[in-house]
Every structure is written in structure tokens, then in C-alpha cells.
Amino acid sequence: PGEALEALQRAARNEPQAAEHQRVRAWIRSLLGDALLATGDFGEARKAYNRALQAEPGLQSALAGLVNVDYLEQSAADPSTGGGEDALLAAPEFDLLLADGLLAAQRAEWETAVQSLTLAVESDPLRAGQAWRALSWIAEVTDQPEEALRYIELATTVDPTDVYTLIQRGRVLAARDDVEGAQEAFTAALDRELRLPDALAGLGRLAFQGGRYTDAEMYFERSVFQDPSQTVVHGMRGLNALMLGDVGAARDSFERANSSGKRDATARAGLAWCAYLDGDPVEAITLYRELDDSLRALSEDDPLRVYVARQITRIDDHVEKVAWSDRFERQQLRNGWLIEEGAGPLVTIHDGAVWIDGNFTETGRSRLKREYPAGDFISIEVTLQVDRDNRCRVGAFVSLEQARRDDNEIKAEATISRNLDGTLQTRVQRRGGEDADYVDVPVLEWPAGEPVVLRIDRTGESSDTQMRLSINGVPVADRVPMSELGRTTSKLWVGVFAEGDTGRIAKVRIDRVEIVKRER
């Protein structure tokens, strides 16, 4: 553009002055306007186009140039500068119709844009690909995917090698999950011109969506190097950096996205999450709340507002959580633990562990347990080992119980346990009584003589309370409704149990218990 501008400036200084060369003067001035526009000098470009119109009123290339200046400056045309509304009334040709359609599209005047672009198609079928491409973009942003595909196919028919048509084709195909077709289109565009930040960004998005985060970073880096003003691409690069585990790089990209003053919502949400990952939940919540305030014009069910609200709730909930762990490395149990030994086996602490050990003198349970308000309990995780000599059911439990004279009545309970023959089983008892069935988990084994990790999680609130039961990190029962544990104001018992009939042997080693609860 620089060399062309210098040549056209020389031509303008030496333009022919004879009356019969009036059209040549207009043509030189219009080309000078194009060169100035390409270098970003919008003010001088406007002057050049107006001087062209002085030489030849109604010159289509100059009129289109004025519309393009308005399009790029995002401002309305100024009739007083020489082009004027009267000049725009001249019979429009392709360039003016295309420019007018693009300007209307930028203003979101979709109906006007479609009308102008359709007329452009009719005015010059040989160059109609540019208008078809613009119509495809309008259909894309107005949520008409089938029309977007139809228009870009028409544009491709006119000129299958046009790089911007290839980029738009890649975008449309990517939105339809045609990854192979989209990648082919973006790559074909880059084969024709290396400096195409849009094509690089498109390939980056495809790599990101496919989980190829290292490849995505390479494409995003090249794209923003060529055009640092791409707010959305900076935001995508930040998200990709988070997936790579590089919080510092993510923050840098999000800050670059916001540096333009556009305050990109994705980047703002990303900065909030970076604050949380850096261990500052208060700052994270503040940033999320500021973002939510800026989105008040949107409905409450807008996906972005829903996401922000959930993140605030999630962080609030996490801040309230406290993990308490006991490794039993002492001589006396204490530490808030309670024991039940009425059925025979004893609960003792020695050698860095708690043991449930002994013969059942009657049918029943021996338990190591703690008590928590139902609304505060989040999860219990137990590391234990069943001895090869054990001959009873062993497991972890969470229960709601009612005290009786001689015993507690179980009103609701969730357990994950190993039965007599070593089968892993779960049981959820919702309404009290002893008729709830144990459910086998045949896929997973619980071998004797080896430590396992049992976990019971409570999620949801009130009537939406659910339980998840896991062994060694693998869920074996998930989203199990247990509203009984959520609607109560009573306390829950949590812990480890051994259950058997008279004469059975219990021999269990408990090495560690971790309980997560809310700190109110």
C-alpha cells in the first residue's frame, strides 16, 4: 500500500488538466482515496473521494469509497463534505451496492443490508461472490445456519479460490461440526496468503475444540501477532492457556483482550477465574459480580449470566467448605469420635490406626462415628483395609437416625460396603425400616488385605439433595435422590461400620478419615 500511495500521490500532483481528461482526473483521485483508505488515513481518503466526485459527480467507485470510509469509521456519512445525498441518488452499481450493504450490516440493519447485497448480486453476477459471502455472514450472525451454508456455497461457485470466501466457508462448516471441511477451507486460505489472522484463529478454535491445546496455542499466537487488535482471539487464547494449566499466560491474554477498552465478557470472566486459581476467592467473586452488573440488560436466563451466577455460588460454596482429616497417629481416640460396641466387636486405636476387631456376640453393628448438622455435611472419605480373616459386612455410612431407649432407629441411610463373600454393594434407605435392598456392583472388586478408599458425597440442597458413592475414586452410584437428608434440621451420623450375625468375626483397619463440611 505504501508504494501504491506514493505513486498515486505523484499522479494526483501531475494529473492532466484538459477538459477532455476530466474522467481520468476523477479516476486518479478515486484510486488515491483507495490507497489512503488502505493505509488507514480515513480523513484524507474522504477528501480524495470528494475531489473525485467534483470531477465526475456520481462516480460509483468514489461513492463506494465514501461508504467504505463510513463503514470503517463506524460513523454516518456527512453529506456536507461533497458526496452529498444527491450524489448517492445516482443509479447504483456493484461497488456502491456492496459497500452500502456492508455498512448496513455493521449497523445491524439486516433487512437493508440483505436488499443492497441482493441487488449487488443482480448487478454484476461475475463479482457476486463478494455479496454472497456477506449474505452468508449475515445469516450466520442472525442464527440462520442453513442460509449461511447456502450463500457460502454460492460464493464458492463464483470464486472457489477467494481467501475471504474460504475463511467464511471454514466458519460456517465449523459451526456445523464439519471439522474436516472447516480445516480444509482455512488451510486453503492460508495456502494462498500467509498473513490471514482470521484463518489462523479459525484453525486455533478447531484445535481448541478438539482438545489439541498445544496446536491451538500455536495458531492463536500467530493470529494475534499478525493482528493484535483481535479481542475475541485474545480471549480464546486465554481459555486455551487455562486448559494448558498456564494461569499466568491466561491472565496475560485476558488482560490484552480488555486493553482495547471493549471489556470483553469472556476475558472478564477469565480474569475472575484466574483470581480464584491464584487463591484469591474474594477478588474472584468481586470480578464476577462486576461482570454480572454489566450484564443487567440481559435476561436472567441468558447463558452468560447463568454461568456467572453459578460461578459465584460455586466459589461461595467452596469458601465455606472446611476439610478435616484424622490419621489416628495417637494413643487415645478422643478428637470428637464416638463408638458403638454393643454387638461384640471392639473399636480401638493403636499402631497408627483404628481397629474394629472381635466376634459378634449378637446380630448387630459396631461403629466408629461422628455427628454433624445435616446442612453442614458435604462428604466423608475413608481409607480402610479388610483383613482376610474378616467374616462380616464392612463399609462407610451416612445416616439420619432417631434415638430410642436401647438403640437408634435409622430413618434414612446411604452405605457403600463389602459383604461376606467380598462383593461390593451399595444401599440407599430412604424412609426407614430394614427392607431396603443391597445392590451389587459386579464390575469392581474389593479385595481383602488391600487398602481401599470409600467416599460418600452429598450434593444439592433441601429436596434436591443427592448422594454419590465411590470406591477408589470411581463412582458406583451417582445422583441418588435423598431428600430426607436435605429437608431435615436434625444431625447426621457419619463413619465406618462392621455388621454381622452372632459368631461372625470383624477385623477391619481404618487408617484415615477425611470429612468436608461447611463452616458457618
The pLDDT value given to residue 520? 63
- Look at the pTM and tell me if it is higher than 0.75: no
Q: Are 493 and 371 in contact (CB under 8 A)?
A: yes
Quick one: which H or E segment has residue 414?
Answer: strand 408-418
Question: For the domain that residue 393 is a member of, what is the CATH number?
Answer: 2.60.120.560
Q: Are 263 and 247 in contact (CB under 8 A)?
A: no
Integer CA distances (angstroms), 214 to 108, 181, 246, 267, 401, in order:
36, 21, 12, 20, 53
Q: At a CB cut-off of 8 Å and minimum separation 6, what does 404 contact?
A: none
CA distance between the termini of the chain:
66
**Grid coordinates belonging to 244:** 494448558
346 is a domain residue: yes
216 is a domain residue: no
400 is a domain residue: yes
- Residue 39's φ and ψ, nearest 5 degrees, are -90, 0
251 is a domain residue: no
- CA separation for the pair 390, 387 (Å, rounded): 5
Q: Are 223 and 207 in contact (CB under 8 A)?
A: no
Q: What is the DSSP secondary-structure string of 138-195?
A: HHHHTT-HHHHHHHHHHHHHH-TT-HHHHHHHHHHHHHTT-HHHHHHHHHHHHHH-S-
503 is a domain residue: yes
- CA separation for the pair 328, 324 (Å, rounded): 13
Number of other CB atoms surrounding residue 236 within 10 Å: 25
- CA separation for the pair 222, 241 (Å, rounded): 15
Name the residue range of residue 456's domain. Answer: 327-518
The pLDDT value given to residue 16? 79
Q: What is the DSSP secondary-structure string of 226-266?
A: H-TT-HHHHHHHHHHHHHTT-HHHHHHHHHHHHHTS---HH
Number of other CB atoms surrounding residue 303 within 10 Å: 8
The pLDDT value given to residue 91? 42
Task: Return the biggest CA–CA distance within the chain.
Answer: 122
The pLDDT value given to residue 472? 95
118 is a domain residue: no
362 is a domain residue: yes
Q: At a CB cut-off of 8 Å and minimum separation 6, what does 217 contact?
A: 204, 237, 240, 241, 244
pLDDT in tens, the chain (520 residues): 567 777 877 877 877 777 667 677 777 888 888 888 777 788 888 888 877 776 676 666 777 777 777 766 654 334 333 444 443 444 457 878 888 888 888 788 899 999 989 998 988 888 899 899 999 999 999 999 999 999 999 999 999 999 999 999 999 999 999 999 999 999 999 999 888 899 999 999 999 999 999 999 999 999 999 989 889 999 999 999 999 999 999 999 999 998 866 778 999 999 999 999 998 888 999 999 999 999 988 888 899 999 999 999 888 877 778 899 999 999 999 999 999 998 999 999 999 999 999 999 999 999 999 999 888 899 999 999 999 999 999 999 999 988 777 777 888 999 999 999 999 999 998 865 556 889 999 888 899 999 999 999 998 877 788 999 999 999 999 999 888 887 777 889 999 999 999 999 999 999 999 999 987 6
The number of folded domains in the chain is 1
The pLDDT value given to residue 261? 67
Pairing of strands 423-429, 408-418: antiparallel
Q: Are 69 and 36 in contact (CB under 8 A)?
A: no
Strand, coil or helix: what is 15? coil
511 is a domain residue: yes
Q: Are 415 and 397 in contact (CB under 8 A)?
A: yes
